[in-house]
Structure 1
Amino acid sequence: MPRADFPTPVKNLIAELKRLPGVGPRSAERMAVWLLQNKKAEPTALAEALVLAEEKIISCPACGFFATAEVCEICTDPKRDETLLCVVEQATDVLPLERSGAFKGRYHCLGGKLSPLDRVSPEDLLIPQLISRIEAISGEMEIILALGADVEGEATSNYLADLMRGKPVKITRIAQGLPAGGGLEHADELTLIRALQGRRDF
């Protein structure tokens, strides 16, 4: 006797949900069942929102952030300091910096980081666009490297710094150290080294 299973449309939905990052088979199954059985789920509204986002959202050709027009709101904001350019790995990295309210310049999203193991080379990132943006600005700029502290992030930062040497830019890097509310007992050695190296007057 064959075992009962979900109908094919439900299995197809589970298969699509499983493709999402961080979603395993059991989670995908729970989400699919919730979408189909919960009165508050509104799966049609979810589907419409996905279709609309796919149709309307583009990657800003200037900086790589999310945009609905030819360029994003950040690139068209005249109050932004164009001599300050913060380089991040992904478009989603812009949001924590924006929410902090501490940065008033512009951004450049690389679209990833150098990773030979994953076959990500400089040609796969938006590095030529970064250089073009730097060369288009008259006068000195500050380039802030806000990349990850892992091996790939370090390699990408070093590569960019070497590439920009000799250009009229000041290259800086965001400070790295202990998180607010964190104690020394939870910090790894590399974090403590960077916290000590990045100390400032109190």
Structure 2
Amino acid sequence: MVPLNNSQFFLTSLNRLIESFRRLPGVGPKTAQRLAFYVLKMQEEDVREFSDSLTDLKSQIIYCDICQNISEKVTCEMCVDKSRDDSLVCVVEDPMDIYVLDKAGIYNGTFHVLHGSISPSRGIGPEELRIKQLLERIKKNTNIKEIIIATNLNLEGEATGMYLQQILSHTKIKITRLARGLPSGSDIEYADQTTISHALNSRVDINENIK
């Protein structure tokens, strides 16, 4: 009996779709097959709408000129929101982290997205991240009083946090780090709101620790 996951028996177009789904994080071979066969059963209009949404996502999404978050405008809605405290800047690795932290409902400052973390094993250094934009932002906005480092608590996130701490140490800005309520080695996007709230409220002043 031929196993179902033997892709040589699939039509070329179907196999291409399966392989495309497999590129998504957390999607294994069997899940990719189920998704592909589900698409086959969808109405043509729904498939077209799905395809258009993917195309629009890539063609219409840009990076905010201030915080580097994904946006459909030059400056994102969060950065133009006058009700937010622009003296606080929370630095995160990915856009998803913003939604997790903001959903906790206790932080009303602004954000800055690095779009990754320092990882020598993957050939990613500080130059590949949006750190230069953060430094330029600090120079332009003299109202910034605190930078909250909210990178993930894994090796890459810790390395990135330490690098940010070093390059920002010469400024008069208060540098803080999320409290250790988050499990070591974890990503912020998987943390619950209670844990996030504690990590934000109990953030540690890095400069004080150095002294």
TM bin (shorter chain): 0.7 to 0.9
User: Against the structure 1 CA distance between its residues 60 and 140, is the aligned structure 2 distance closer, same or farther, given a 3 Å change threshold?
Assistant: closer
TM-score normalised per structure 1: 0.81
Are residues 1:100 and 2:93 paired?
Answer: no
Contact between 2:153 and 2:182, CA under 8 Å: does it hold in 1? no
Contact between 1:14 and 1:28, CA under 8 Å: does it hold in 2? yes
For residues 118 and 140 of structure 1, the distance between their equivalents in structure 2, rounded to whole angstroms, comes to 32
Give 2:116's match in structure 1, choosing from 89, 107, 112.
112
| Secondary structure of the corresponding residue to residue 21 of structure 1 | coil
Contact between 2:21 and 2:32, CA under 8 Å: does it hold in 1? yes
Residue by residue over 1:69-115, the C-alpha shift from the partner in whole angstroms, topping out at 9 and shown as x without a partner, is 11111111111111100000111110011111111111000111111
Specify the code of the residue in structure 1 equivalent to 2:130. Answer: L
Gaps of 5+ in 1: 180-194
Counterparts of residues 60-139 of structure 1 (less than 5 Å) = 60-139=64-143
| Secondary structure of the corresponding residue to residue 85 of structure 1 | strand
For residues 158 and 140 of structure 2, the distance between their equivalents in structure 1, rounded to whole angstroms, comes to 26
Q: Which structure 1 residue ranges, 4+ long, deviate > 4 Å from structure 2?
A: 38-41
Specify the code of the residue in structure 2 equivalent to 1:23. Answer: V
| Secondary structure of the corresponding residue to residue 163 of structure 1 | helix
Contact between 1:140 and 1:170, CA under 8 Å: does it hold in 2? no
Counterparts of residues 148-167 of structure 1 (less than 5 Å) = 148-167=152-171
Contact between 2:117 and 2:160, CA under 8 Å: does it hold in 1? yes
User: Against the structure 1 CA distance between its residues 16 and 44, is the aligned structure 2 distance closer, same or farther, given a 3 Å change threshold?
Assistant: same
Bigger Cα Rg: 1
TM-score normalised per structure 2: 0.78
Contact between 1:91 and 1:111, CA under 8 Å: does it hold in 2? yes
* CA shift for structure 1 position 133: 0.9
For residues 171 and 41 of structure 1, the distance between their equivalents in structure 2, rounded to whole angstroms, comes to 51
Aligned residues: 180
Query: Percent of pairs identical after alignment?
Result: 38
Alignment match, 1:177? 181
| Secondary structure of the corresponding residue to residue 42 of structure 1 | helix
For residues 177 and 119 of structure 2, the distance between their equivalents in structure 1, rounded to whole angstroms, comes to 20
Q: What's the RMSD between the two structures over aligned residues?
A: 2.4
For residues 161 and 45 of structure 2, the distance between their equivalents in structure 1, rounded to whole angstroms, comes to 43
Alignment match, 2:188? none
* CA shift for structure 1 position 6: 2.5
Gaps of 5+ in 2: 1-5, 184-198, 204-211
Instruction: Considering Cα pairs closer than 8 Å and 6+ residues apart, tell me whether 1 or 2 has the greater RCO.
Output: 2
Are residues 1:30 and 2:34 paired?
Answer: yes
Are residues 1:15 and 2:41 paired?
Answer: no
